[in-house]
Chain A
């Protein structure tokens, strides 16, 4: 059965059309919008790429920092002891006299390569126990003014120190209450 109403409605509606001039303007508007969208997308892509680069670089920095940190943590866990000296780097490898070794060590202490010196009452070093620059200067002076002695050990009343250098060297030493210094790894004693 034919729906006459539908035929008439559709016939009337088919005559309804947007004007040509309107359609031209509409096309231009849409083209402009599309161009804007593409520009914005391009900016977003550039921003995303930049963000990705920053993220990669930051990631690398964080990884480096973590590596340094874990290394530091490892160092901090080291315990002092003459039987198991934890000394690394060129200083241990140097086959020199004690005087020359101490000379090099002091020189090393005075260089920018010194990162930290940790202080401890029991030989266990934790991050909070980094000593101040002022204390470092005093220790340097103490080393410069001391000379190698024959004694093999210092008194029980001593403070433990661990010096950490940027090149990876770690040198532990103890200072007794009477101002004597011991470098257990080398069995060096200074007064």
Chain B
């Protein structure tokens, strides 16, 4: 029987444990703080509203990543419909925290959108291909292929940027 561990975490614990994870995932795909903040709040509110039962910590983390991933993709789709403004074009007006991550933003911007999430989940969250496939609702073959191309692309970007 699944144990309901949703109530075991207080809002403070939720924030301490998951906010950075969600925030980074959103940032890796969207490349800006405001959207990352929105996604983080949206996901954690959903967590509280759902009061879902989780088998264990891994199950909970996978659920949060999946919800975050869906929210990010959904926001990206909505944003795409709006007038597209290149990140480099607004460099001068971006806020201080984003300015700190200029290198990263530059990398994210150069990396095709379809590779961003898988790269982040594979590199930073250190998830397996199967786990990434579950989270992104893709086949393992698709994830493998995206990962292979994405890693190659990232390597080139870093080399061109003088990081490698």
Contact = CB atoms under 8 A, between A and B. Distances in A.
A23 B124 contact: no
Interface in B137-164: 151, 154-155, 158, 163-164
For chain B, what secondary structure do more than half of its interface residues adopt (helix, strand, loop), or is it mixed?
Answer: helix
Contact of A17 (B20, B28, B123): B20
B112 interface: no
A41 to B, nearest CB: 9
Interface in B24-48: 24, 27-28, 33, 36-37, 40-41, 44-45, 48
Nearest to B152: A5
Contact of A4 (B36, B48, B164): B164
A99 B154 CA distance: 114
A19 B19 CA distance: 11
Interface stretch (A24-32, A115-123, A154-162): A24-32
Interface size, A (range): 20 to 34
A4 B28 CA distance: 18
B164 A23 contact: no
B15 interface: yes
A67 B10 CA distance: 53
Contacts of B91: none
Contacts of B104: 12-13, 15-16
Contacts of A19: 33, 97
Contacts of B119: 9
A10 B23 contact: no
Interface size, B (range): 35 or more
Interface string B75-114: 0000000000000000000000100110110010000000
Nearest to A24: B15
Given A12-B101, A16-B24, A26-B44, A5 B154 contact: yes
Contact of B11 (A10, A22, A34): A34
B15 A27 contact: yes
Select the residue from B14, B100, B119, B123 with max chain A CB neighbours within 10 A. B123
A68 B36 CA distance: 68
Contact of B15 (A3, A13, A23): A23
| Top 5 A-B residue pairs of the complex, sorted by shortest distance between their CB atoms | A30-B11, A12-B104, A31-B11, A18-B23, A6-B123
Interface of B: 11-12, 14-15, 19-20, 23-24, 27-28, 33, 36-37, 40-41, 44-45, 48-49, 51, 97, 100-101, 103-104, 107, 119-120, 123-124, 151, 154-155, 158, 163-164
